Amino acid sequence: AQTVTQSQPEMSVQEAETVTLSCTYDTSESDYYLFWYKQPPSRQMILVIRQEAYKQQNATENRFSVNFQKAAKSFSLKISDSQLGDAAMYFCAYSRNTGNQFYFGTGTSLTVIP
């Protein structure tokens, strides 16, 4: 069974600093997709970044980047130059290449301190 684990229920970061959110997953598949979604207080889940498992290169989107370690089944999110608007719940998610279901972790609540 696919499981996604986020071991940090809460994290905080000073504005303009860098923070890393951790995610591990369990799968027997070799081809799959990984995602980070952000859920602000408005509750709408917003895509932050997407990684394809067959690509060795780590995905980046502006201030957001991932450290994808396939052998370790680890997928961490790094937020650089943190901004007040980055404060939200962050969910790590997994999707199989042949599956239609996303598996989500329990989330990490990120606080940005001015």
Partner 1 sequence: ETGVTQSPTHLIKTRGQQVTLRCSSQSGHNTVSWYQQALGQGPQFIFQYYREEENGRGNFPPRFSGLQFPNYSSELNVNALELDDSALYLCASSLGGYGNTIYFGEGSWLTVV
- For residues 61 and 47, what is the distance between their CA atoms, to the nearest angstrom? 11
Q: Segment 34-73, which members bind partner 1 (CB under 8 A)?
A: 35, 37, 42-47, 50, 52
Stretch that binds partner 1, among 15-23, 66-74, 76-84, 87-95 (CB under 8 A): 87-95
Contact 51, 58 (CB under 8 A): yes
- 11: contact with partner 1 by CB under 8 A: no
Give me the least distance between CB of 14 and partner 1, in Å please.
26
Q: Which residues contact 42 (CB under 8 A, 6 or more apart)?
A: none
* Beta partners for residue 20, in sequence order: 78
Which residues of the chain form contacts with partner 1 (CB under 8 A)? 4, 32-33, 35, 37, 42-47, 50, 52, 91, 93, 95-107
